[in-house]
Amino acid sequence: MSEKKCPLNRDQLEALIKKYPTPFHLYDEAAIRANARALKAAFAWNLGFKEYFAVKATPNPYLMKVLKAEGFGADCSSLPELMLAESVGLSGKEIIFTSNDTPADEYVKAAKLGAIINLDDITHIDFLEQCAGLPEMVCCRYNPGPLKGGNAIIGHPEEAKYGFTRPQLFEGYRILRDKGVKRFGLHTMVASNELDANYFIETAHILFDLVGELSAELGIQFEFVNIGGGIGIPYKPEHKAVDLKVVGEGVRKLYKEKIEKAGLGRLDVRLECGRMVTGPYGWLVSRVLHKKNTYKQYVGLDACMANLMRPALYGAYHHITVPGKETLPHDFVCDVTGSLCENNDKFAINRALPPVEIGDLVVIHDAGAHGHAMGFNYNGKLRSAELLLRENGEVVQIRRAETVQDYFATLDFAGLNKFKV
Ligand SMILES: *Cc1c(COP(=O)(O)O)cnc(C)c1O
């Protein structure tokens, strides 16, 4: 069971809303820090353990600064994400650049920052060499194909566009070695939102075995393996969070056997999780604008899928509570909707809630990752603000809400006036 609780109660939220109108995303710094420490503790046995926060999950530099203070690096896959990492003072090997179908200017920027470049394909060796030169250290992304079962969000590895095949991996590291690359990492990412701890232990197993085989065949030494992100979070109250201690301990046992006993030297374990780092510690706070009773009961919010797309995109479950009504009977079955002209703009379908009234606050849980970040402007909808509850109880705005001016910023209305039809 996972408890679904917002750190602010109804009165505290109402006080906050006087300054920052709904809808907004609220993040909890203390909870994010405590979770970051638990992750580090689970891997404390590994000398060079590092988590590279997957910036795409919540690309806000204020949160990245908090995570940097906890010792996390950044996993970037685009130019703006690299620039965000740079803006919080991350540099060099604190950044891993795990991109695919990569434009040259992004490799150039990653190389300038001294980031670890994680190649997605064997042809990118030449591409990188031509656009930025080969750095001293290179990582390659492995796609195990049919050797590993995938899961629902990421799909089967052999259907996934990412990474090198196994033979390409041997060939790729051989080419890199012969071109003078001296330092190596190995990466894979085969799951998303996975709640089974064993999945990550198995992934480490695959990578440890591969490190042994690649080292033996090519005479190269690996500095790290990156077992990717994808640790899931309990979106439903009946789900159980991944026990990080079990993952850390399982990987430690394998490390002893596959790396230490095999005399493979020091090997750092790396992760690049996004969802589990901020997901459970972010809430979308909204207010009920309308109630409607037609063929079904509808509760219409002032938030829409521009603020949180996951339910519309994947039919994802997000728990919903009505502050102040948590203990009332949940016998009002309704669809909770946004205002987009898309019938899938629903935060919940046939959800049992307490009796909801116009003006009630509604809190949508587990919106701290892949939430605000996925927002879009379709239908002229504007993205909401992001607020951070600091450890001292203060709330700071870490991104303002979009305005109509932001929406029109890419249009030239002066040009329009001169545009004759
Ligand atoms: C999306 C992504 C992540 C983060 O995934 P989570 O499910 O948020 O942990 C990590 N690495 C890569 C390469 C990704 O594409």
Quick one: tokens of 116? Answer: 């670890």
Residue 266 and residue 139 share a domain: yes
**Does residue 239 fall inside a structural domain?**
yes
Residues 182, 267 within the same domain: yes
Atom 10 of ligand 1, residue of closest alpha carbon = 229
Strands (E), 272-384: 282-293, 297-301, 320-321, 332-337, 346-353, 361-364
Lowest mean pLDDT among 145-149, 168-172, 206-210, 217-221: 145-149
Interval between CA 145 and ligand 1 midpoint (Å): 18
d(CA 45, CA 238): 31
Q: What is the CATH number of the domain that holds 323?
A: 2.40.37.10
Residues 258 and 306 in one domain: no
Nearest alpha carbon to residue 370 among 202, 156, 193: 193
Kindly report each contact of residues 235-241 with a partner whose C-beta sits within 8 Å and lies 24 or more positions away, as own/partner: 235/316, 235/317, 235/318, 235/319, 235/365, 235/366, 236/2, 236/317, 236/319, 237/1, 237/2, 237/3, 237/4, 237/319, 238/1, 239/2, 239/195, 240/1, 240/2, 240/195, 241/2, 241/195, 241/280
Cβ 230 under 6 angstroms from ligand 1: yes
Beta bridge partners of 184: 138, 222
Same domain, 321 and 252: no
**What is the distance in A from the centroid of ligand 1 to the CA of 154?**
10
Q: Are residues 71 and 160 in the same domain?
A: yes
Pairwise CA distance, residues 397 & 389, whole Å = 9
Q: How far apart are CA 262 and CA 292, in angstroms?
A: 66
**Of the residues 278, 296, 316, the one at which a domain ends:** 278
Percent of the chain with pLDDT over 70: 98
- Predicted TM-score of the model (pTM): 0.96
Co-location of 230 and 332 in the same domain: no
Structural domains of the chain, count: 2
Q: What is the pLDDT of residue 154?
A: 52
As a whole number, the mean pLDDT across the chain is 96
Q: What is the CATH number of the domain that holds 248?
A: 3.20.20.10
Last residue of a domain, one of 227, 249, 278: 278
- 75 C-alpha to center of ligand 1: Å? 8
Does residue 323 share a domain with residue 235?
Answer: no
Q: How confident is the model at residue 190 (pLDDT cuts 50, 70, 90)?
A: confident
Confidence of residue 148 (pLDDT cuts 50, 70, 90): low
Give the model confidence (pLDDT) of 40-57 as tens digits: 999 999 999 999 999 999
Residues 161 and 267 in one domain: yes
Determine the structural domain holding residue 192 and report its residue range.
29-278
pLDDT tens per residue, range 53-93: 999 999 999 999 999 999 999 999 999 999 999 999 999 99
For the four alpha carbons of 404, 12, 318 and 30, in that order, the dihedral sign comes to: positive
